[in-house]
Amino acid sequence: MTTPALPARILLGPGPSPVDARVLRAMSRPVIGHLDPLFLDIMDEVQELLRYVFQTSNRLTIPISGTGSAGMEAALVNLLEPGDTAVIGIHGVFGERMADMAERLGARVVSVRAEWGRPLDLEAIEDALRRERPRLLALVHAETSTGVHQDLKNLGRLAHRYDALLVVDAVTSLGGMPVRVDEYGIDVCYSGTQKCLSCPPGLAPITFSERAVERLGTRRRKIQSWYLDMSLIEKYWGAERSYHHTAPISMIYALREALRLVREEGLEARWRRHELNHRAFVAGIEAMGLEMFVAREHRLWSLNTVCIPEGVDDQRLRKRLLTHYNIEIGGGLGPLKGRIWRVGLMGAGSTRENVMLILEALRESLHAEGIHCPSGREAAERVYQA
């Protein structure tokens, strides 16, 4: 049986994002053993580069074998024991997922909620911390289901004041927006490879602070997951180099190359690029008479949510983008299904060329739906000129 040739899609959805040819080439290198001295050097380099992108000096900084959700599960399963209290911020799908996982682990989940499309309220978080004295506070930095950016400044200090650890989901921000683990006082931060790092899906970078590592040592019982037990995984990634599970060799090659690309560009320059392309995109959307879903001050640079105008068939328009323009964008999840589009400008996908392309493709596709709007390209252009 033959499968049709796969087109190189222009990936402007919520992930995966476009992968650089250098990363794809790295994946096709010969597979060597996971304890080969040459591979151990590669592991060291990956850890060093991950410390750079996380802006941390945490010793325990590694990629988990699995996607972003495995990073989420690793964070929670290592820190929570049955009966522990966890305060979890929920303002979208991924906050819900964290709460679901914590509950499955037997934790008592206290949720602090915000309306979808709004960030969490700091006072509500502090009230919950004061009242519940939880083991941890967990929340999503970049809520990919809504496009909301949660400000992280002061959260570490706040959590530590009540002796709670701070767990942050940076899946859609790491490599695209500032995530300064040490400066913000984050205890466990995890991400995924296929969003702003522009690597294929398959690994979940994660980092544990010394405070979080200490907690691992004071657990009353074994971590429920053997596969995600950081104290075992650490023995492979740390000095001992003892076998735990076979590292996904080709994925580690890919991650190393993707992280090298980040370092070559420079993290600050990469953040600025994401911000600029986001601003140009928004200027274009607004010039077209369309509306962003999230208020200006709470928008992500990596994932833009646009309200779908009345009378437009969401599925049909997205199918048109795919078949006519080879472009993928995302639809809304849960209560936002049919109400918003999710346009990712992540990693290698965050370019001026893509901004111009999606604005024009959207305008033409809306036209096909009977909605006539002016071009957004001049407005976007002005952002680049300024």
Using CB positions, name the residue nearest to ligand PLP. Answer: 68
How many residues touch ligand PLP under the rule CB under 6 A: the total is 14
Q: At closest approach, how far in Å is the CB of 194 from ligand PLP?
A: 6
Instruction: Give, as one character, the DSSP assignment of residue 380.
Output: H
Residue 354 lies near ligand PLP (rule: CB under 6 A): no
Stretch near ligand PLP under the rule CB under 6 A, chosen from 17-25, 66-74, 113-121, 352-360:
66-74
Residue 67 lies near ligand PLP (rule: CB under 6 A): yes
Q: Report the first-to-last Cα separation within the chain, whole angstroms.
A: 54
Q: At closest approach, how far in Å is the CB of 73 from ligand PLP?
A: 9
Residue among 196, 312, 211, 327 nearest 262 (CA)? 196
Q: Phi first, then psi: give them for residue 307, nearest 5 degrees.
A: -70, 135
Q: Which CB atom, from 69 or from 111, has the smaller least distance to ligand PLP?
A: 69
Residues in CB range of 240: below 8 A, 6 or more apart: none
Tell me which of 126, 169, 234, 257 binds ligand PLP, using CB under 6 A: 169
Q: At closest approach, how far in Å is the CB of 66 from ligand PLP?
A: 8
The answer to whether the CB of 192 falls within 8 A of the CB of 57 is no
Q: Which two tokens stand for residue 280?
A: 């140009």
Tell me which of 10, 11, 13, 15 binds ligand PLP, using CB under 6 A: 15
Tell me which of 56, 78, 144, 350 binds ligand PLP, using CB under 6 A: 144
Stretch near ligand PLP under the rule CB under 6 A, chosen from 67-75, 155-163, 222-230, 259-267:
67-75
Residue 96 lies near ligand PLP (rule: CB under 6 A): no
Residue 201 lies near ligand PLP (rule: CB under 6 A): yes
Tokens 């911000």 belong to 275
Residue 177 lies near ligand PLP (rule: CB under 6 A): no
Stretch near ligand PLP under the rule CB under 6 A, chosen from 101-109, 138-146, 350-358, 360-368:
138-146
Q: Which two tokens stand for residue 255?
A: 């991650």
Residue 147 lies near ligand PLP (rule: CB under 6 A): no
Q: Which two tokens stand for residue 139?
A: 């929340």
Packing angle between helix 267-287 and helix 377-385, nearest 10 degrees? Answer: 140
**R_g of the chain, CA atoms, integer Å:** 21
- Looking only at the bridges linking them, the beta strands covering 85-90 and 108-113 are parallel
The answer to whether the CB of 146 falls within 8 A of the CB of 294 is yes
Q: At closest approach, how far in Å is the CB of 98 from ligand PLP?
A: 8
Dihedral in degrees, nearest 10, Cα atoms 57, 62, 63, 69: -80
Site residues (CB under 6 A) for ligand PLP? 15, 67-69, 72, 94, 140, 142, 144, 169, 171-172, 192, 201
